[in-house]
Amino acid sequence: MHVTVVGNPGSRRVTLFAAAAVRAGLAEPEIVSWRDVLSGVPLRLRPGAAVRVESPGEDAEVDRLLRGAAAAAEPGEIVGGRAWYTGFAAALDRVADAARDQGAHLLADPAEILVMFDKAACHARLLAAGIPVPAALPGAPASWAQLRSWLDEAGWRRVFVKPCHGSSASGVIALQLGSGGRILATTSVELSGGRLFNSLRVRHYRDERDVAAIVDRLAPDGLQVQRWLPKAGLDGRVVDLRVVTVAGEPSHVVVRGSRSPMTNLHLGGVRGDLCALRAAAGRHYAEGLDTCRAVAACFPGSLHTGVDLMFAAGWRSHGVAEVNAFGDLLPGLHVDGRDTYDAEVAALLTCARTGASA
């Protein structure tokens, strides 16, 4: 079996997957760079090759090409989410066309990747399938004024405001509206000179003018607003789970704990004790994993998914916050001696032996 990876050469994701392929006895995967895909370079795929589509993130030039911008964004700048998504869709079409024309097959359905990268579309798909998800506003607010009006109409005082096409908590705001006009917005967004930047430090904004400036800057690229689900706590932190499914089954689980509403590990979240969480959740833990299986079934053309699973306070109910097309980067997390990439390669080889589609 030959494997090709569409990705950014030298990135952690490409390197870790390639190492897993070699450990499994496969040849070093061939790499097709996102820069080549986006620059119109002819794409060469080996007939019969399994083609893995990897994240185009963490490359400033790739980001610029995806957005069709004349210049690269400043480091960490949050800009052009809708243009990025449009460019990514076109790039995936080009990869899919090359695979079809040259007799290769993709390990993830481009249409499914795009749904996972559109929070509103993903929420709608899960809701239609009966997956428990937080309630969401039915539309995308065009401004802070409209968001505030809609929240007043709905009677919602605590929500998560999310860019439709963001990832890694980029631009996400945990918003709380109190009595007497009080407001608290918790976010990694740094507001600087009217521009927005990602930061590794979680900030708290209490001035409505600052919150309005952030939301108004984000809104043109699309927002999804989810009602805040109060999460269960463990060891003095709120927690949620990243559950990686491989071939439809939960494979690797990491507990993410935080003293702020943002549990992302790069924002100061810590990995929690899975055994302790399972003990706290009891039988409800298995119910949560069943939900992750149901989520994977919503994306049958994708070898893996990364499901963000939240247990509500008390552990008796749960919901799915998001589904990630590239949510399998969990370095150092091993189950039965295998990391996420080992599990994915093993599933790929099993499909090849049985003749099943990957």
Whether 357 has a pLDDT exceeding 70, the answer reads no
Rounded to whole angstroms, the Cα distance separating 325 from 307 reads 9
- In degrees, rounded to 5, the angle at the alpha carbon of residue 353 between the alpha carbons of residues 350 and 355 is 100
Rounded to whole angstroms, the Cα distance separating 167 from 162 reads 9
Distance (Å, rounded) from C-alpha 93 to C-alpha 113?
A: 11
pLDDT of the residue at 194: 87
CB 186 within 8 A of CB 260: yes
Predicted confidence at residue 355, as pLDDT, reads 65
Mean pLDDT (whole number) for 178-185: 93
Cβ atoms of 175 and 211 within 8 Å: the answer is yes
Q: 4 with 49: CB under 8 angstroms?
A: yes
| CB-facing half-sphere around the CA of 61: CA atoms within 13 A | 9
Give 205-254 pLDDT, tens digit per residue: 999 999 999 999 999 999 999 999 999 999 999 999 999 999 999 999 99
The model's pLDDT over 75-123, given as tens digits with 9 standing for 90+, comes to 999 999 999 999 999 999 999 999 999 999 999 999 999 999 999 999 9
Q: Supply the DSSP symbol for 130.
A: T
Distance, CA of 188 to CA of 346 (rounded, Å): 37
Contact indicator for 326, 53 with CB cutoff of 8 Å:
no
| The predicted structure's pLDDT at residue 353 | 73
The runs of H, that is alpha helices, within 117-221 are 119-128, 144-154, 208-218
Residue 42 CA to residue 33 CA, distance in Å, equals: 11
